[in-house]
Structure formats: structure tokens, C-alpha cells
Amino acid sequence: MSIDHELCGSGAYGRLAGMCNLYSMTSNAEAIRAMTGAMLDTTGNLPPLPGIYPDYAAPVVRNSPAGRELAMVRWGMPSSSQALFKAATTRADKLRAKGKDINFPALLKAEPDSGTTNIRNTASKHWTRWLGVEHRCVVPFTSFSEFNRDAGGDIWFALSAERPLAVFAGIWVPQWTSVRKIRTGEETIDLFGFLTTEPNAEVGAIHPKAMPAILTKPEDIETWLTAPAADALALQRPLPDGALQIVARGVKKDG
């Protein structure tokens, strides 16, 4: 799973239209704490991360019971029951076609969910339960990629060639139990994803369906982390045209 548009689709994440499934974070923990007001830091020695992929741990600043915390969390929120049911049904049909007997409830329980990375439809019941302040986070980044084969593959965007620090508006869930990969079985882990919105001009020229919801101002970060949901969700909007530039093409890491 990797995209929420209509909360459909199944299978492992991929380079599909409308998704940001690759970004970089090459700044440092001190800069992240200063920008976000994080008082706690459990990341240890945070290295530069020039290529962050789905289902790997990445730094987020989250509202935790102990306070605002910079922590490493795994990328990919729980996918919807609808998407998992569809994936398990497809799997069951293939097994039946091979003449195998199916225990569908067991198959559904074990259906792997590598996570939903991007969240667009925040009105969905699947997401509304996690829109409260306690589940909000921001995701530090210095550049992000949108894939367009005709334009050269991975097209990297940043606020400028210097790749200054900014954040995506995100949500997180603590200690979620699911099967991320068949070989590892059930795991209980903290998970995060970030919001997407309509693209601005620069991203739209490469990827017309969506771009991440990006926050660049301390007051917007504060609103996202502390305000009622209706006020916070007003930040699910594209950056102004001209706010981003292409900084690299055709590479899997940046910075």
C-alpha cells in the first residue's frame, strides 16, 4: 500500500502517479529542534539521509505524552481495511485458481501491509481518528522526489539549490500491530505518513496529481501541531507557484 486516494489499491508500494515515495533529509538534529520547538530528542546521532524510502525509519517531530519529541518512526501509516480486504481477496482468488483450499479470515489477518505513505482524503473515516493533536507530527526534509519517466526519472524538488530545511504536515500512530512483510510476521511499531494536496506549478509540470503539504514557517508548524483539526487542515494546501525548484534529476539520492 502506498497511496490513499480513495483508499483503494493493494500490494507493495511503487512509483505510482500522485505519490511522493522518496525524499531526503540532510540537515541535522539541532536545526530540526530549533525549527520545530522539539524539547526531546530520541534519535541519537542523526546522520544525513539522502534517500528515504517507504517502510524505513525516518525522523519526525511528534506530539508525545512526554512532550514534543524528535524521534525515528517508520514511514507508512496503516492502510484501510477496505484496501487490505481487496488485496486479500485477490490473493485468495489466485490461490483458488491453483486448486488450493482457503481460510479467508486467516488469510486476511496475515495480509501484508507495507503502509500508506501519503494521505490526501482527510475526510475519510480511516484518517479522521488520527487527526487530533496527539497524533500530529511534522516530517523534516530538505528535498523530495516525484517520478516522471519522460522527464528523467526521479525529479527532485527543494526550496532552493541550498536545500534549506522544511517539513511535511504529517500524522503518526503509536504501537500499531500488523504484518508489514510476510517474512517478518506481525510487528508492533510506531508509524507515520504525510499529507498531500494539489500541486503547485513546478510540481504539477512533473506530477499533475499531487504534492506533499509543506510547511515552511514556524507559525504554521505551531498551528499544525497545536490547533484544532479544522484550523490545522487549512494547511493542507500547495506552496505558492515559484516556491520550489528542481535541484536534481534521475538519481535515487539527493544532497
Say whether pLDDT at 199 is over 70.
yes
Query: Tens digit of pLDDT for each residue in 151-181?
Result: 999 999 999 999 999 999 999 999 999 888 8
- CATH pick for 5-249 out of 3.40.710.10, 3.40.50.300, 3.30.420.40, 3.90.1680.20: 3.90.1680.20
Nearest to 200 by CA among 217, 181, 213: 213
CA–CA distance, 135 with 223 (Å, rounded to integer): 14
pLDDT at residue 1 in the model = 40
pLDDT band of 93, cuts 50, 70, 90: confident
CA–CA distance, 107 with 89 (Å, rounded to integer): 9
pLDDT band of 94, cuts 50, 70, 90: confident
Extents of the domains making up the chain:
5-249
Nearest to 20 by CA among 194, 160, 153, 158: 194
Instruction: Count other C-beta atoms under 10 Å from residue 64's C-beta.
Output: 17
Query: Tens digit of pLDDT for each residue in 45-73?
Result: 999 999 999 999 999 999 998 999 999 99
Q: What is the 8-class DSSP label of residue 240?
A: P
Coil, strand or helix at 213: coil
pLDDT at residue 5 in the model = 36
Q: What is the 8-class DSSP label of residue 235?
A: G
pTM score of the predicted model: 0.87
